[in-house]
Amino acid sequence: MHPSLFIALGALFLSGLVADLISRKTGFPRVTLFLFIGLGAGGAGFDMIPPALQEWYDALSVIALTMVAFLLGGGLHRDTLRQHGRAIMTISLAIVLGTLVVVTIGLTAMGMPLGLALLLAAIATATAPAATNDVITQSGVNNGFTQTIRGIVAIDDVWGLLAFSLVLVAVGQLQGDHGLEGLLLAGREAGGAIALGFAIGVPAAMVTGRLRDGEPLQIEALSLVFLCAGLSLWLEVSFLITGMVVGAVIVNLATHHTKAFNEISHIQWPFVVLFFILAGAELDMDVARTLGTIGLGFVVLRTLSRIISGWAGARLAHVPQNEAPWYGVALLPQAGVAIGMALIAAQRFPAWGAEIIALTIGTTVVFEIFGPIATLIAIKRAQQDKGS
């Protein structure tokens, strides 16, 4: 194995440490700093990351996101759901539906075909659970607002996947394709992931935390993560939904669940650092620079739709008035889930494939960099407004 791989790993971990220290001093989201490091070290910058390390990106992303999903599922304790469940469900559904409607109408008004506008609007419903969760952790704020945000991003992929699949079917109907492959795919991916989550989570809840007087070994935590990821990939279901369900099952059934989640929290950090830095290295700034009017319109429409629908959902859920304007702002980050949707849409409708891929990747760059900043601002403003 080439020494450059180990040197690069050491350098990236060290740069991640420096970024973390800077974020602590300045309050700037460390997720965005990690992405900037990746941009500088990757192909868009000095091209210093060895190809062997870049090949790790797919595996690291699955591991890191499964850990994040597990922790987010752990936030869905019955006490949290009893207190914030109405807000989580109402706001999350309002944002998905609001994004679909506003982005579709806006893009159609800009001259885009209805089918293409619907596909891009469905892709716009996706968020970035890893980035959002890390910003909440970094903020150190644990109140009703952040607990609700964690709950929303935990189930967001379920609603997004279902909405996207329904749109695939609807656009297929518009194009003269009367198949129901998209809907069947959604049912299999989401339903299969939920079933797998219970299949792993229930027995895990019976044994977790019982090693060493209630303190589980790290190997126990790692085995859960790798089983969730590996079995999900093998069965071709969503590893994000599987991880979330396993976490939710364990936190509600296990007697000694706290330490299990602490172990995942301790283990996940090196994976998350590498994931975000390598994600930054994968970003193509040239695509972002060539977005044009449609790309700018998409960014504006997605931003407005989430702010408006987040506020509307919050008012319907009767959350505190000071929090209502900030839910949509906090949920602006967007990352890999959107790109995955774009790849499926491009494969299903090849005539629009190039436009879908270019627009999604370009706008994802924008939301991946600036979304975490918006999330941190929202958390601070919601807290300040409460105190004022």
List pLDDT tens digits, range 227-277. Answer: 999 998 898 887 878 888 888 888 888 765 555 666 676 777 788 788 778
Spatial neighbors of 76 by CB under 8 A, at least 6 apart, are: 151, 154, 155, 244, 247, 248, 251, 252
- Rounded to an integer, what distance in angstroms lies between the CA atom of residue 256 and that of residue 217? 13
* DSSP codes, 210-271: -TTTT---HHHHHHHHHHHHHHHHHHTS-HHHHHHHHHHHHHHH-TT-HHHHHHHHHHHHHH
Per residue in 203-237, pLDDT tens? 888 776 555 544 556 777 788 889 999 998 898 88
**Residue 271 belongs to a domain with what CATH number?**
1.20.1530.20
Residue 214: φ, ψ to 5°: 90, -5
Domains held by the chain: number? 1
Measured CA angle at 139 (ends 83, 265), to 5 deg: 80
Which residue range(s) make up the domain with 231? 3-387
Q: What is the pLDDT of residue 106?
A: 93
* Predicted confidence pLDDT, tens digits, the chain (388 residues): 567 778 888 888 888 888 888 877 777 777 778 878 887 887 666 777 887 777 787 788 888 878 877 877 777 777 767 777 788 889 989 999 999 999 999 999 988 888 889 999 998 988 878 788 888 888 888 888 888 888 888 777 778 777 887 887 788 777 766 556 656 766 777 788 889 999 998 888 877 655 554 455 677 778 888 999 999 889 888 787 888 888 888 888 876 555 566 667 677 778 878 877 887 777 666 665 666 788 889 999 999 999 999 999 989 988 888 888 899 999 898 876 777 778 778 777 888 877 887 788 778 778 888 888 899 999 988 877 665 5
> Residue 231's CB: how many other CB atoms inside 10 A?
17
Q: What is the pLDDT of residue 152?
A: 86
Residue 296: φ, ψ to 5°: -65, -40
* DSSP codes, 5-27: HHHHHHHHHHHHHHHHHHHHHH-
Q: Which residue has the tokens 């396993």?
A: 246
Q: Which residue has the tokens 């504006």?
A: 300
309, 102 Cβ separation under 8 angstroms? yes
